[in-house]
Amino acid sequence: MLIRVDPASETPIFAQVAASVRADAAAGRLRAGDKLPSAREVAASLGVNLHTVLRAYQSLREEGLVDMRRGRGAVVTEAVEPLAQLHHDVATLVARAKELGLSPDTLAALVKETYR
């Protein structure tokens, strides 16, 4: 799985880490039962604080995407399956939005509005 963070971005680092994991899950690269790399390994590789990565894992846990168990680390739950199923639809929607020149924020706002 690929985790990327851009310190120049306005999005907080922990949110970027969480978004990377979510994107991997949505792309079908993560299966239920897969183990996320240890927070310490990710923090060392990205040169970020350990607590930043732990905060990202914590927010993924709150979404139900991963399960945190002492000694076992963060394990991906069944909740990734619907994400993977939507992958194709989301990719199509994003491609269409790009064609029409919509910004990511506008698209996200539109999706949120429609969902309500």
Closest by Cα among 24, 26, 34, 31 to 1: 24
CB of 67 vs other proteins, minimal distance in Å: 18
Phi, psi of 64 (to 5 degrees): 85, 10
Report how far residue 73's alpha carbon sits from residue 90's, in angstroms, rounded to the nearest whole number: 30
Candidate list 15, 37, 81, 93; residue touching other proteins; CB under 8 A: 37
Q: Which segment (1-9, 69-77, 93-101, 105-113) binds other proteins by CB under 8 A?
A: 1-9
Is 47 near other proteins (CB under 8 A)?
yes
Q: Does 10 engage in binding with other proteins (CB under 8 A)?
A: no
